[in-house]
A and B are shown apart, each in its own frame.
Chain A
Amino acid sequence: NAGVMQNPRHLVRRRGQEARLRCSPMKGHSHVYWYRQLPEEGLKFMVYLQKENIIDESGMPKERFSAEFPKEGPSILRIQQVVRGDSAAYFCASSPGREKLFFGSGTQLSVL
């Protein structure tokens, strides 16, 4: 059973471009979480989704950031018009319910 798959592992963007981060949850998992982590810091919650629904987006910046988890395909975290402050590791996690989370290896976003 494959784990949580995130791609790309590394993403480089110039200021003003768009970043699209993808996350395929573990088979059978219908709950997806996105977290952001800066060096030497903890995991900051961004958004929690179930298939086709955003359940909790209280940690998501109001502008430029959006997330989706369509009926078919991976979950997408989209960052428009990236700025240098968006540089971070973005982790996706999935779970079959509200039990323990299974994390992917993350996407390291670097904004030049």
Chain B
Amino acid sequence: GQSLEQPSEVTAVEGAIVQINCTYQTSGFYGLSWYQQHDGGAPTFLSYNGLDGLEETGRFSSFLSRSDSYGYLLLQELQMKDSASYFCAVRDQAGTALIFGKGTTLSVSS
């Protein structure tokens, strides 16, 4: 089966940089995705890594190391609006269902 581990909570101050780690175990690997969710609202897609390395999208970057079954989401120049839950996700062994981690709650203070 699939399992994902990520920290439950992270705190930071405005303007700082924060890294949210995700380790996974999966029978077949189809890439690592990241989603953001504000206050129980609709989760929104942030990034996807299919190959090793860093993907950058504005203030957010995501990294993947397939050999280590590890990835992270890097948020730079933190803003109050970045306070949210962040989920890493992988496809199941059949490559169909997208399985989510339990999420990391990020709290940004001024």
- A interface vs B, CB < 8 Å? 3-4, 33, 35, 37, 39, 41-45, 48, 55-56, 58-59, 89, 91, 93, 98-106
Contact of A101 among B45, B95, B96 (CB under 8 A): B45
Residue interface bits B68-103, CB-to-A below 8 A is 1, else 0: 000000000000000000010001101111111111
Query: Is B45 a contact partner of A105 (Cβ separation < 8 A)?
Result: no
Closest to B1 in A: A58
Spell out B's residues near A (CB within 8 Å).
30, 33, 35, 40-45, 48, 87, 91-92, 94-103
Inter-chain pairs besides A37-B40, A106-B40, 7 sampled, C-beta below 8 Å: A35-B100, A42-B103, A45-B99, A56-B94, A101-B43, A101-B98, A106-B41
**Is A103 within 8 A of B96, CB to CB?**
no
Q: Is the CB of A58 within 8 A of B43?
A: no
Contact B102 A45 (CB under 8 A): no
- Closest Cβ of chain B to A101, distance in Å, is 6
Contact B87 A43 (CB under 8 A): yes
Of all A-B residue pairs in the complex, the 4 with the closest CB atoms, nearest first, are: A42-B102, A100-B45, A56-B96, A43-B100
B98 touches A59 (CB 8 A): no
A91 to B89, alpha carbons, bound, how many Å? 16
Minimum distance in angstroms from B93 CB to a CB of chain A: 10
- Contact of B33 with A91 in the complex, beta carbons under 8 Å: no
13 A-B pairs, CB-CB below 8 angstroms?
A: A3-B42, A39-B40, A41-B102, A41-B103, A42-B101, A43-B43, A43-B87, A56-B92, A56-B96, A93-B43, A98-B30, A101-B45, A105-B42
Most buried by B among A41, A100, A104: A100
Nearest B residue to A108, CB-CB: B40
Chain B residues with CB under 8 Å of A4's CB are: 42
Kindly provide the distance from the CB of B57 to the nearest chain A CB, expressed in whole angstroms. 12
Residue in contact with B43 in the complex, picked from A56, A59, A103, CB distance below 8 Å: A103
